[in-house]
Structure 1
Amino acid sequence: MTPPVSFPQNPMQTNNTFSLNRFSQTAKYIPAGVGGPNIIVYKVDEYRNNVWIGSVLRETEQVILDCTSLSPPPTLHIDTNSIIGGKWQNNRVEVCIGQPIQLCFDIKTSDNNAKLELSDNPVQLLPGMTITYYNQNSDSVRGCLIWTPGLNKTGEQNALISIINRDCNTTNIMMDFGLPINFYIVPAINISNDTTICMGETATLFASGGFNNYNWSVVSGSSLSLSCTNCPNPTATPTVGTTYAVTSAGNICPTNNNYKGTVRVNIYPDPIQTPQISIAVSPTGKVWEGLLVTFTATPTACKIPAYQWQLNGNDITGANSATWGSTTLKNNDVVSCKIICGDYCARPQTQISNDINMNVSVSVANTKKEEGIVTMYPNPNTGSFTISVSSTNSTVSNIEVMDIMGKVVYSEDITKSSKTHDISIPNIPTGVYSVKISVDDLTEIKRLVISK
Structure 2
Amino acid sequence: MKRYIPLFFFLILLFAKNVSAQNVAAGEIAYEWISDSTYRFYFKLYRGCPGDTAPATVPLCFKNPCNNAGFTVTLNRWTAPIPGIDVGVYSSPSCSWVKTSCDSIGSSIPGFQLRWYHATVTLPSRCNAWKIFTHLNYRAASNNIQNASTTPYYTECTFNNTGTYRFNSSPYFSIRAFTYALLNQPNTYHNGTIDPDGDSLTIELIQPRTGVLSCSDTPLQVSFVSATPVLSVPNNPLQTNNTFSLASNGQINFTPHVLGNHTLCYRIREYRNGVLIGTVMRDVNIAVLPYIQDTQKFIASIDTTCSPTMALGLPLGPTQIESCIGKNVNFCFYVKSSQPNTVLILSDNSSFSLPGATVTYHNQRNDSVKGIFSWVPGRFDGGLKNFVITVKDSTCRPPGIMLYSTYNIPINITPATIAANDTIICPGDSAILSVKGSSNYTWSVVSGSGSSLSCTNCITPVAKPVVTTVYHVMSTGNAACGFNTDNIIVEVLPRIPVLHAGNDTAICAGEIAMLNPSWASSWAGNIQWNNISGTNGSLSCTQCKNPLASPTTTTQYILTSFDRGCNTANVDTMQVSVLPVNNTTPSITIKSGLGYIAIRNYPTTFTATSVGCTSPSYQWAVNGIDIPGANSSTWTTTFQDTMVYVHCRLICKDPCMPANTQNSHAIQILVLNSINNLHHNNGITISPNPSYDGIFSIKTNTTLNNANITVINRMGQTVYTEKVLSISSGNTKVLNLQHLPAGIYTIRLNHIAKSITIQR
Question: Which structure has the bigger radius of gyration?
Answer: 2
Greater strand content: 1
TM-score w.r.t. the length of structure 2 is 0.31
TM-score w.r.t. the length of structure 1 is 0.46
Q: Which has the higher contact order (CA 8 A, sep 6+)?
A: 1
